[in-house]
A and B are shown apart, each in its own frame.
Chain A
Amino acid sequence: MAVAEQRTSPQASPEPETWYGIIQQTLKRNDIRLVPYVPDRVLTALIRNLHADPFFTTFPTAREEEAVGIASGAWMGGMKSAVLMQTSGFATLANVLASLVAPSQIPLIMFVSERGTLGEFNLGQSLVCRTMRPVLDSLAIEHHTCTRLDELEFICDRSIKQAVTTQAPVALILNPLLTGGKVFDK
């Protein structure tokens, strides 16, 4: 599971010491209220807690690009959002990133649970994972791989603020070193 135990700025959060607690609080602090997602096992705790928090409007979509469309429309309407997905879901987004998000300069904030590395048991996941960073790099989309609990708030908070102020998308990749990932269990 998560490696870092120390946090220098404790917050009034129910679970500030977890990666998902930190993300929830960071979203709140940046007034990100809308969170459409396509789920992943690793994201379960985050999704559950967002649903339980009336600050957020969070709901599943049928496809990741649908979530991106909703987030883009909400941004243009004055509401900030973030979308949640896993690696294989990100792999479906090249067209919408290249034809909507990037050319329209929409500050899309993506949280991607990283499958396919550090103990992956599904060959398809491990292959699709290798397409993620090349796609992001080819579109010059900012991305960070989050591996440590003690860096998570800094990376997320700064990245969200940079996305909004520079009107550019960002992908925050949640690595198994942070989340524990998903391991072969049956």
Chain B
Amino acid sequence: MEAIDLQTQPRPPIKARLSALFSKIPMLGWLAGILCTVLVEYLLGDWLSYILYLPKIPVLFGCLIMLKQPILIPSVLAYVALVYAVPIIGVGRLTAGFTNRLAARLDQWPIWISALIHLSLLYLALHYWTDISDYRLLVLKLTMIAVMLTLSINVINGYMGEFSCSHPGFMALGAYAASTITLVFFANDRLFGDALLPPALGPFFFPLALIIGGLVAAVGALVVAIPSFRTRGDYLAIISLAFMFIVKSLVENIEWLGGPRGMGSQPNWSTLPVVFVWMVLCIWVINNFVRSILGKALNAVRDNETAADAMTVNTRKTKITAFMLGAFWAGVAGGLFAHVMRFINPGTFSIQRLAEILAMVYFGGLNSVVGSIVGAVSINLISEMLRPLEIYKWIVIPLILILVMIFRPPGLIAFREFDIKKILAPKKNR
């Protein structure tokens, strides 16, 4: 028996072989592959799509073209394989030895240098990727803002375990506060008249406007945070929902904010680098927060408030911090959103927005930074890619979410820690 087994030694299953192929590529290798892909598309994209009879470069991995003209599916698949799959995997695998040595070198330096290098490579790739079309740029910016929103609601809904419905309200507060500042001081518009300061100074003060927007949202969060001392769960959900409606109604009734007509002509300062830097900041701050003592206290409050209290966790301080931090980042995201869309009105921040944010956070996974990023990116990309389905899009996306909820109730990647050091580390040759 044994001899036969030795002779026909079975090949390892395909999954194991694939994972053996990929497990040696460090993050740096993947980034090199992505950069290569982007360069290939940047230089050869037009020519390749001409050869493959594509009308133009497929914007979002060809999904739009495939759904509109099924006859082009083979050429789109060929394009995706040539431009995306082959360079990413090929370059990543071929340079694995070199990038592993490089990553090992970087690993000895302080983590922030290594992180900065990786981030700048990623930014470079995104910059050239979005250079192809403005639509890509817009989708990417909105996706990054969605990542910030999802992360910030995960602090409250995931790490603290409340069901907060107030996020569109926080977002509205931040968006209106930041827009008011930029419009009053740095832009000529119909609501506030001429700029008080030279508009050229604007981009330098834009971060300040965003921070003020975030702070306004954080102060607004006290309205929800203070009742949360006495009540939890469902009643708090109603309070937060009421807060959302109150903010919307309040903005609708303030005439100098534009009322129901909204506020427009914000300057176009939410460029790709600005949004990228804020998103990275947001991920960094929130990841550090949830891994800190205060973050662990959040989990303790979620799992058993009385026990946490007995273990000297200051529950009030914990709750207030979580709400204010979540609201701050939602406010910043709102400010960025206002300057991307360059028009906001109270209707932007209503029930639909709430459903979208909740879908993203519960799809990605509670209590997990990676999950939030994955949830926000995938829901945003899916909803953009399925655009040609028109109205049926809103049947397909809910169905996907229902399936995810049934088969993985806490979300795709829930309860996972996000450790930047592990992600950037070189892969050992096993």
Determine if chain A interacts with chain B.
Answer: no
